[in-house]
């Protein structure tokens, strides 16, 4: 298979898989137990905590392990119930684990304002500044968008948050392993991560919480994770997250250079054979290796079927629910009309993709497009 859907999920790194297999067999104690087997498991968990903390430049005690990025986002947002200032500011291109939760919280008197983005999917910090109210307690803006890859001006947004003494959370799920993350320089108070986005296992994530920020648990019933996440820890999964975080932050600039090279290669060769292609999002300030493109007159679902039949995996810019194709809310927020929205696909390269695979992708896509156009006549 030619796999170009790394923004959806990544294959587990072989070293990570080997570690998980070894630990699941040999480290079976409960990390909360005081005997030797428990202490060994606890050591594994704390090693992973140090690894993810090093990867984003925070202290280990500022890391909480969760069941994924969505849970981490939920933990942040549901804590608004306990805060005095109950207004949240977010953007129109956030993940449903932000926007859908905020809709639910409206029933509990947690209000929110959704600021727009420009045609590139970028938030204007001045819009956030203008949306601040007396009771604003949280700003939550993703670091980079999952569909078009646009990197948001978090440092400028952090200045707005600091000026008004408002907490700043960022969904960083798409970024770790693609761009450097330094939570100190970014100025964020909280940031969410998910292991399966950076060659780790599914079902495990992490939340950075700046020291001194009070939080209450979303899952209750135990004292694990400083009483913020009840339940016996997924030792193997947590170890996999830590290992993956360490691996992807090594030689990060080389990986970024490689992904950018593959992206440039695709755009050059594909555009030569397929004129009038629209590339969405910022040309420069975006995640390396992520390409969101609109192909006029070509339904994205038809193209995906053709590519899947050729054993090539990419994704659509639209959301599919119960067999019904609907326009992507992210692209709609960027001002892309419904017709173009449904003619958009996302290609996201990863560490194992090669120049030869990019050539194969270009050739297969070009052939599929010609077939679709011919059949439509």
Helix, strand or coil for residue 10?
A: coil
Q: Which of 58, 122, 243, 320 is catalytic?
A: 320
Rg (CA), the chain: 21
- 243 is a catalytic site residue: no
How far is the C-alpha of 114 from the C-alpha of 117, rounded, in Å?
A: 10
Among residues 314, 311, 302, the alpha carbon closest in space to that of 370 is found at 302
* Residue 276 backbone phi and psi in degrees, to 5: 65, 30
Expressed in angstroms, the distance from the first to the final Cα of the chain is 31
Joined together, the tokens standing for residue 54 give 């090093």
What are the strands of the beta sheet with 315-316, ordered from one edge? 278-279, 290-294, 344-348, 315-316
Burial pattern 109-143, b for ≥16 Cβ within 10 A else e, equals: ebebbbbebeebbbbbbebbbebbeeebbbbbbbb
β-pairing, 205-209 vs 190-194, is antiparallel
Q: How many CA atoms lie within 13 A of 120 on its CB side?
A: 13
Catalytic residues: 320
């Amino acid at each position: 298979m030619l796999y170009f859907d790394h923004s959806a999920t990544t294959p587990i790194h072989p070293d990570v898989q080997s570690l998980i297999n070894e630990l699941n067999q040999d480290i079976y104690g409960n990390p909360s137990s005081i005997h030797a087997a428990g202490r060994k498991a606890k050591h594994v968990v704390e090693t992973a905590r140090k690894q993810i903390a090093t990867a984003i430049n925070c202290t280990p005690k500022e890391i909480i392990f969760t069941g994924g990025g969505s849970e981490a986002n939920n933990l942040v947002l549901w804590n608004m119930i306990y805060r005095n200032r109950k207004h949240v500011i977010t953007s129109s291109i956030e993940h449903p684990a932000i926007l859908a939760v905020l809709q639910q919280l409206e029933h509990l008197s947690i209000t929110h304002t959704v600021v727009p983005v420009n045609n590139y999917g970028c938030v204007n910090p001045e819009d956030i500044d203008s949306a601040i109210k007396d009771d604003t307690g949280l700003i939550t803006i993703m670091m980079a968008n999952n569909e078009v890859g646009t990197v948001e001006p978090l440092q400028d947004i952090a200045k707005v948050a600091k000026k008004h003494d408002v907490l700043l959370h960022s969904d960083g799920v798409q970024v770790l392993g693609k761009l450097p993350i330094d939570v100190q320089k970014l100025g964020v108070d909280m940031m969410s991560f998910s292991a399966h986005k950076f060659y780790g296992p599914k079902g495990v994530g992490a939340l950075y919480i700046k020291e001194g920020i009070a939080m209450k648990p979303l899952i209750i019933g135990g004292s694990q994770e400083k009483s913020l996440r009840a339940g016996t820890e997924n030792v193997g999964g947590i170890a996999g997250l830590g290992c993956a975080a360490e691996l992807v932050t090594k030689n990060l600039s080389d990986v970024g250079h490689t992904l950018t090279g593959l992206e440039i290669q695709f755009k050059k060769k594909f555009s030569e054979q397929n004129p009038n292609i629209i590339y969405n999002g910022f040309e420069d300030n975006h995640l390396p290796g992520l390409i969101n493109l609109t192909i006029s007159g070509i339904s994205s679902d038809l193209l995906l079927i053709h590519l899947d039949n050729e054993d090539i995996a990419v994704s659509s810019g639209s959301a599919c629910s119960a067999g019904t194709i609907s326009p992507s809310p992210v692209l709609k927020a960027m001002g892309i009309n419904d017709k173009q929205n449904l003619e958009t696909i996302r290609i996201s390269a990863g560490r194992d993709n090669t120049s030869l695979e990019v050539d194969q992708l270009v050739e297969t896509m070009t052939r599929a497009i010609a077939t679709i156009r011919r059949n439509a006549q």
